[in-house]
Structures are given as structure tokens and as C-alpha cells.
Amino acid sequence: MPLLASIPSPSQGVWNLGPIPIRAYALCIVLGVIVAVWIGERRWRARGGAPGTITDLAVWAVPFGLVGGRLYHVITDWQIYFGSDAPKRPIDALFIWEGGLGIWGAIALGALGVWIGCRRRGISFTAIADTLAPGVAVAQAIGRWGNYFNQELFGGPTDLPWALEIEPGRPGTVPGETLYHPTFLYESLWDLALAGVLILAARRFSLRHGRVFAMYVAGYTLGRFWIEGLRVDPAHHILGLRLNQWTSIVIFLCALAYLWLARNRTGEEPLGVQSGDAGDDPADSADPAHGRDQADEPELVSGEEREDAEARDGAGDDLPPDGDTGSGKQTATAGAGAASDGPAAEPEAGQR
């Protein structure tokens, strides 16, 4: 007997709290945003940025992203809301809680919002993009569960043990079939795996200047291409491929082009903070792209301290070498020598 015969769909996706409807789709989006901000804050602090920066930028990113996601959905599926035989009213195009957010528009306009916020704060946009990339992937993994509660965007019929039960009559269902590919689950797992790969790659290869975000874009579009091919919901087709598959191809190639063009890019990326603003804990300034043991090393001793040490060393040479005085001179000389070995090596430009 198989361990799992099928995955049942939720009996409902909306709960009423008095006159207020609580929709699972909206909750998944909100939870995804919260988790993305939390991950981004931790990564930004580890890079040396000021706490609260990612939360402030989310104020720009979230509304821009929601508008962009909805615009992409309405533009590409306009026939659902407009026309004489449209199944929904034009006003329904504003009801994002009923489903329908295009990730391409959400990322594009969300990035625009982040760029505006970065400009206002004097922060490198590419540094923020690299910091946010893993959290964005996790947010997508969580948000896809909203499709599960709405019983939408599933794949074709299948008899696999993890097939998803869909109520008859839903858009894309096949008469006589009730089990379909759970494409929401495929994409959710892909996004979680992608987030892990991004974190490991950033640490292993010291990726900077937007290359982590470009890897996220390339990785997501790669998975989205084959998952999109499994879906059976109504969509525009061009040369046998769904519109979102063509979009995936174009954006994937753009991400690869950026990775190639930025492969040798170095230099400092402004974090918008002065020295000491990131906190008292030196570990807070470590860059997760390098790891704590590869963080920038501070200069061991300042020039004035080194000159004082050398002066004490020179003064000690005139003292008589008797008893306690000689021992003190020896200790002072050893300490001065340790302090005056020379300044620490300047960190490489790519590690600042």
C-alpha cells in the first residue's frame, strides 16, 4: 500500500472573522514578505549594514511589488477581466486577494521600489539585491502555497503518489480527472533549494555586485520553465510554448549575460553607514559572502600608538639593567615589538 495516495486540497481558503474575511492566499504572501525581511535583515547586519535597513526598504518594495505583480497578471490575462464574455468583472482586477500575481512584474517593480529607497539612503543597490536574493526565493516558496489553498495553477493529470486532488470544474481541469501535478509544491521546493544554493555560493565564491541576485534570477527561471510546461491553466501560447516559458528564456539569458559582464567587477559597495554604526559586535560586520573567518581585518594598532610604543622602547634603553628595572624593560620591549610588527595588510578591494 503506498504511503501517500494523493494530496487533498483544502476544503476552504477563506475564513470569516466576523465581517472580515481572512484569506489564505493573502496570509501566504504576508508570511513570505515577513520571512524575506527577517532573512534580509540578518544577512545585511552580517555584511556590516545598519539594523532596520531592510525593513525600511520593504516599505518601498512591497507596494511596488504588489502593483507590478498585479499589472503583469492583468496585462497577460486581460481576457479574464475585459471583454463581452469575460468570466470576471473589470473591477475584479483590483482584488489581489483572489489570486493572480505575476512574479515577473512583482520582481521588476519591487526592484524599482528598492532602487528608489537605496538612492535616498546612499546604499549600493547591488549590495542590497545580493542580500535579499535568498530571502526572496524563500518568500516565493511560501507564497506558492496560496495557489494550493485556491486550487489553482496545477499541472496536468497524473497518477503519481503525490498527485493533488482538485475539485471538478476548476479552470484547467479535465473531465473525469481529479488528480493533477502539484506544481505549487514543485516550485516551492525548487525555491527553497535555490535559496540554499545562493547562500552557499555567496560564501564559497565571494559573490558581489549583483551576482548573487543574477544567480537567483537564472536559477528561478530555469526551474520555472519546466514547471510552467506542466501547468494546464489557460495561457497564451507562442510557437508551442506558454508565454511564461518564453519570459523565462529571455530573463534567463539576461541573467547569464549579467553574470558574464560582472564577473571581474570589484570595488566597494556603499552600505550607507559610518564605521561603528553596525553594532558593537565585530561579528555583526562579517560578510556572509566571505564567512566570519574571512571578514575584513581591522588594523592592529594605530600610527600614534605605534610611535608611543617605539618611544617607550627607546627610553627603556637608557635605564640600568638591574633587577626589577631590567625585567620591566624586557616586558615593555616585547610588548612594543609585538605592537610594531607593522600595519595589517590592507584588505583586497573585493572583500570590503
Query: In a 3-state reduction of DSSP, which class is residue 22?
Result: strand
In single-letter form, the type of residue at position 314 comes to G
The rounded distance, in Å, linking the Cα atoms of 291 and 326 is 45
Q: 173-206: string of b/e by CB count within 10 Å (b at 16+)?
A: beeeeebbbbbbbbbbebbbebbeebbebbbeeb
Q: How many CB atoms lie within 10 A of CB 25?
A: 23
Give me the count of residues in the chain. Answer: 352
Torsion of CA 333, 339, 341, 342, to 10 degrees: -140
Taken in order 297, 270, 137, 285, the sign of the CA dihedral is positive
Asked whether residue 144 is marked as a ligand-binding residue, the answer is yes
Burial class (CB in 10 A: 0-12, 13-18, 19+), 132: buried
Binding-site residues sit at 144
